[in-house]
Structure 1
Amino acid sequence: MSTPRFLTLPPGVRQQTIETPVGAFAALEAMPLHGVPERLPALLVPGFTGSKEDFIAVLQTLAHAGRRIVAIDMRGQFETKGPDDPAAYTCEALGDDIDHVAAAVGGGEPVHLVGHSFGGLVTRETVIGGATKLASYTLMSSGPAAITGQREKLCRALLGALPEVGLENIWATRMEPDAIAAGVPDDILSFLRTRMFANSLIGLTTMARQILDAVDRVDDLRAVDLPTLVLYGEHDDGWPPGSQSEMADRLDADCFVVPGAAHSPAVEAPETTAHTLTRFWNQSERHLLHNP
């Protein structure tokens, strides 16, 4: 595993592999530049077609607060290998993977868990399962059930087109032109192409179905006694901001709307996102101290 030549990692951030009983997971690990981690670690899980690199902009700031921060590729994503078995890519199966990764990252300590978008649907299975001790849980730009709106249409289009025209055609005729129109720089565009074609095709199709068929598990999540944060951009085009706000109310969770951000606050407003997570994690650790 090596850093793509067109991506530069911030100081204190390095490529890492997290070894677990269910396999190895490609990761980015951020550590404080000075001293040792004095607070509980955090694990960041990306969304559909995403990867650990989606968190690059927040890793250094989060680690500066005194934590080890780990962002991973889920099974079948980018640099983490996955099998040719659709059953490996359900939310339940991926949630079990995250349980093992969290245990490895924590090393016996509780872990702050963050799930972005589809990663939220996956990590809520980890939380509800309750096998690993967690310090807090953050749903970032994720919703209570199946995705809706424009991203639902894009997901259905991808799912329908993949068997007929293939990923190369979809990239060349839809994804790349959309990225260019949005002003994505050439180096990032090269990375996005490399990442897209590194994904497991079986993983992509199964994850897409999972996003479209996800059921509401908010009541199950609420039953878990865990400090929870719902964080999303004010212009989120995934799950509507209103539905995420309603989910936060149902969970009795903290809620933070990131000004100016859309579906990827860690990319679009990294400093605000990092400071919000740090503040929430600090509060959660005080809660844990008084409620061991």
Structure 2
Amino acid sequence: MPKVTESRIPFGEHETWVRVTEPDTPQDGALPLVVLHGGPGMAHNYLRNLAGLVDTGRTVILYDQIGCGNSTHLPEAPADFWTPQLFVDEFANLVQELGLAEYHLLGQSWGGMLGAEIATRQPEGLRSLAICNSPASMGLWAEAAAELRSRLPETTQQILALHEAVGTTGDPEYVAAAEEFYRRHVCRLDPTPQDFRESEEQMEAEPTVYHTMNGPNEFHVIGTLREWSIIDRLGAINVPTLVLAGEHDEATPATWQPYVDGIKDARAHVYPDASHCVHLEHPEGFRSVIGDFLAQHDGPNPHA
């Protein structure tokens, strides 16, 4: 049986909760994988099944980013506290405290954006990067969301627009209309998996990070990340990169193509009959694609 250890790592005056799953039979040369969750603020729960990659003989590390899940919550922190650099620093602290000399990095949604931010800093131990279901800029994300919204039933579009105009996005009618978008482009499983519900429920209970950085939902981005873009910095990423998305993903090809174009050693994989949560909709297939990619890049660091 894999060994599972949970702990809290000091991060300045705060704490980062981390869960480390170690294989009972380690694969020789298999480097650990660190997983970055989305949101921002959705916590690790919905990515829990990625710990199944431990079956390939590697350690898998999931953690809750500051402000959500089991890590320190800071509901009174000002908006300018919540920056990408904060989470880059938290990750660097985690790697140092866990003593990771070399590792792979996988980020889903916002986690992929964060992974790209980290990779542009060229950390010494980073061996590969998997960017899953992530846009390269929030401008492209907003354009894609608008296009996908235009395909919703006319009545649904009208309800969304009405409540957004008057700021009543918490109204049950608006929430119900937004669910139509989620069913098509976020998670197409019915019922919604428990792991996803857990992440969503903890975010709704304390939405500081998500509402501050993103906004009320996936397609009405009015938070501090609305101007974010990494497109002009992608040339700094110097590790093999896999860009993965779903056929019906809210992260449409237009949002992630800049990663493929801008990162020297990048390739794309689009998973059929899947949306934003490929890892939940097709867990074994997703882990197979990721596992093969990681195994290809477990060798010596060419940048050492």
Q: TM-score range by the shorter chain?
A: 0.7 to 0.9
Tell me whether 272-281 or 170-179 shows the greater mean CA deviation. Answer: 170-179
Contact 1:151 1:237 in 2 (8 A): no
Which residue number corresponds to residue 145 of structure 2? 150
Residue 256 of structure 1 pairs with residue 246 of structure 2? no
Is 2:281 the partner of 1:268? Answer: yes
Total equivalences in the alignment: 271
CA drift of 1:41 comes to 0.8
> Which structure dedicates a bigger proportion of its chain to helix?
1
Question: Does structure 1 residue 75 correspond to structure 2 residue 66?
Answer: yes
Letter of the 2:296 counterpart:
Q
Q: 1:14 offset after TM fit, Å?
A: 4.0
Instruction: Rate the CA distance shift 1:67–1:206 in 2: closer, same or farther, 3 A.
Output: same
Instruction: Give the corresponding residue for 2:213.
Output: 207
Q: Which residue of 1 aligns with 2:220?
A: none
Q: In structure 1, how many angstroms separate the alpha carbons of the residues matched to 2:169 and 2:247?
A: 34
Q: Which of 122, 129, 133 is the aligned partner of 2:125?
A: 133
Identity %: 19
Partner amino acid, structure 2, of 1:29: V
Normalised by the length of structure 2, the TM-score is: 0.74
1:145 Cα deviation after fit: 0.6
- Where in structure 2 are the equivalents of 1:42-81 lying within 5 Å? 42-48=33-39, 49-60=41-52, 62-81=53-72
Whether 1:87 aligns to 2:111 is no
Q: Which residue of 2 aligns with 1:197?
A: 204
Listed as ranges, the gaps of 5+ residues in structure 1 are 1-10
Amino acid at match of 2:233: D
Q: Does 1:102 align with 2:95?
A: yes
2:9 corresponds in structure 1 to 19
> Which residues of 2 match residues 211-222 of structure 1 at below 5 A?
211-215=225-229, 217-222=230-235
CA distance change for structure 1 residues 190 and 97 in 2, over 3 Å: closer, same or farther? closer
Is there any run of 5+ residues in structure 2 with no aligned partner, and where?
Answer: 150-159, 215-222
CA distance, structure 2, for counterparts of residue 108 and residue 258 of structure 1: 31
CA distance in 2, matches of 1:137, 1:195: 27
Equivalent in the alignment of 1:112: 104
Counterpart amino acid of residue 73 in structure 2: G
Root mean square deviation, CA, Å: 3.4
- 1:235 partnered with 2:230: no
SS at match of 2:18: strand
CA shift for structure 1 position 210: 3.7
